[in-house]
Structure 1
Amino acid sequence: MGEKTARKNNQISEQYIKEILQSLKSINYGSITLVIQDGIVIQVETKEKIRLK
């Protein structure tokens, strides 16, 4: 599925989903923010927190 097709259908491309899942797998503590514009994900922000004992 190309980017233009994904935009027309307001769907997230498979590559973007893989990147989001990779971000989820790579952090233990933190947050992932999806930035959406006109119904389209345009940015993924990953913030990781490091817990000190």
Structure 2
Amino acid sequence: MAKPFEVDQQWLERIADQVSGIHYGHVTITVHDGRIVQIDRTERTRYDGPSQKRNPSESEQQQSKQRESQAASEALRIVQ
């Protein structure tokens, strides 16, 4: 038989705090032996419209090439 469930003012405030401000998401309340033991909040972010693929700038391309070159140098050092 399930134990009677009581929620005091402190838990009501905690739950309200977790729910406030969420536009998309959910709040999960975990109960053990008739007592609230945990509140989980998962918030989602939704974006309207399709994503746009952007072209990397020249500096981003140079940085990428430098990282690739450094990785290749590291691989050569490891092999030697």
TM bracket, shorter-chain basis: 0.7 to 0.9
The structure where strand makes up a greater share of residues is 1
1:13 to partner: Cα distance = 1.9
Aligned to 2:38: 43
Residues 13-44 of structure 1: CA distance to partner in whole angstroms, max 9, x if unpaired? Answer: 21110110121112110000000000111000
**Which consecutive segments of 4 or more residues in structure 1 shift more than 3 A?**
none
Report which structure shows greater RCO (CA 8 Å, sep ≥6): 1
Alignment of 1:21 with 2:16, yes or no, is yes
What root-mean-square deviation, in Å, do the aligned CA atoms of Structure 1 and Structure 2 show? 1.3
**Structure 2, unaligned runs of 5 or more:** 49-80
The structure where helix makes up a greater share of residues is 2
**Structure 1, unaligned runs of 5 or more:** 1-8
State the percentage of identical aligned residues. Answer: 24
Q: How many positions carry a matched residue from both structures?
A: 45
Aligned equivalents of 2:21, 2:14: Cα separation in 1: 11
- TM-score, with normalisation over the residues of structure 1? 0.73
